[in-house]
Amino acid sequence: MEKIEEYFEKFQIFFQENPRYVWLLVAAIFVPLGIGSILGKNWAIDPANSRQRVWYSILGHKAFGIIMGIGFTVVGVASLGMFFMTA
7 belongs to a structural domain: no
Structural domain of residue 28, as residue ranges?
19-85
Q: Is residue 24 part of a domain?
A: yes
Domain count of the chain? 1
Please check whether residue 10 is in contact with residue 41, taking contact to mean a CB–CB distance below 8 angstroms: no
* 3 domain-assigned: no
- CA-wise closest residue to 40 among 56, 62, 59, 25: 62
Which 8-state DSSP code applies to residue 18?
-
3-state secondary structure of 39: coil
Q: Quick one: average pLDDT of 71-84?
A: 96
Mean pLDDT of 8-20: 91
- Asked if residue 63 belongs to a domain, the reply is yes
Tally of CB atoms within 10 A around 60:
10
pLDDT digit string (tens) for 17-73? 998 999 999 999 999 999 999 999 999 998 989 999 999 999 999 999 999 999 999
